A and B are shown apart, each in its own frame.
Chain A
Amino acid sequence: QVQLQESGPGLVKPSQTLSLTCTVSGGSISSGSYYWSWIRQPAGKGLEWIGRIYTSGSTNYNPSLKSRVTISVDTSKNQFSLKLSSVTAADTAVYYCASERNIRHWFDPWGQGTLVTVSS
């Protein structure tokens, strides 16, 4: 059973770069059956897909964030990472990592989520 766990700083200053890592256990991140995605949710609001990476390193980003987002993968550590630059208070949210089935593209499972607050 694949499990995902987010990690990273819970507080980031405005204009700096948010960096999070998702560790995959119980399965290989190199499996061709999945993409690896990041999704966020501001408090009391809905879900926003940030982007995804395939084991090959191929990425897709949400156009609304594309200029600020980088997703990378480290197959040796079974991890993938998110970097979001030039953050503002609007980037304060719970950030989830999730596996995205490469057919039909549903998200399952999800990590538990990590709250990132942007504040000075």
Chain B
Amino acid sequence: DIQMTQSPSSLSASVGDRVTITCRASQSISSYLNWYQQKPGKAPKLLIYAASSLQSGVPSRFSGSGSGTDFTLTISSLQPEDFATYYCQQSYSTPHTFGQGTRLEIK
């Protein structure tokens, strides 16, 4: 199985901050990397697919980059509704695997 490791596991930030979350794969996955946002009691929501493509309807302050084994999700200017848990997911091979999550909290 391909292991996905996110860092940090948790992060405190303020509204307006620029935030970066990192995801590392245990082997090269090309650009088969997706990012999700999950709020308490809700299903995950797709933000970014194929490492850098913004899902329709997702604000442009979200962006993704990377290829191979190292990827980043950046939120350019945090908004109150962005405080949530973020997961990366590799779709290079089955079993599809997720990172452990990054909890983004209000400072």
List the interface of chain A (C-beta within 8 A of B).
37, 46-49, 52, 60-64, 96, 98, 100-101, 104-113
List the interface of chain B (C-beta within 8 A of A).
1, 32, 34, 36, 42-46, 49-50, 55, 87, 89, 91, 94-101
Q: Which residue of B lies closest to A48 (CB)?
A: B98
In contact, A107 and B34 (Cβ under 8 angstroms): yes
Q: Which residue of A lies closest to B49 (CB)?
A: A106
Cβ–Cβ < 8 Å partners of B91 in chain A: 104-106
Given contacts A47-B44, A112-B43, A113-B43, contact A107 B94 (CB under 8 A): no
Cβ–Cβ < 8 Å partners of A48 in chain B: 98
Query: Which of B32, B94, B97, B101 is the one whose CB lies under 8 Å from A60?
Result: B94
| A interface majority secondary structure | strand
Query: Which of A46, A100, A109 is the one whose CB lies under 8 Å from B87?
Result: A46
Query: Which of B44, B95, B97 is the one whose CB lies under 8 Å from A110?
Result: B44
Q: Which residue of A lies closest to B97 (CB)?
A: A49
In contact, A107 and B44 (Cβ under 8 angstroms): yes
In contact, A46 and B99 (Cβ under 8 angstroms): yes
Expressed in whole angstroms, the minimum distance between the Cβ of A38 and any Cβ of chain B is: 11
Query: Which of B1, B89, B101 is the one whose CB lies under 8 Å from A106?
Result: B89
Q: Which residue of A lies closest to B100 (CB)?
A: A46
Expressed in whole angstroms, the minimum distance between the Cβ of A24 and any Cβ of chain B is: 15
In contact, A110 and B89 (Cβ under 8 angstroms): no
In contact, B43 and A105 (Cβ under 8 angstroms): no
Beyond the given A37-B96, A106-B46, could you list 19 further A-B residue pairs with CB under 8 A, ordered by the A residue number? Answer: A46-B100, A46-B101, A47-B44, A47-B98, A49-B98, A52-B94, A63-B95, A96-B44, A104-B49, A106-B49, A106-B89, A107-B36, A107-B44, A107-B46, A109-B46, A110-B44, A112-B42, A112-B43, A113-B43
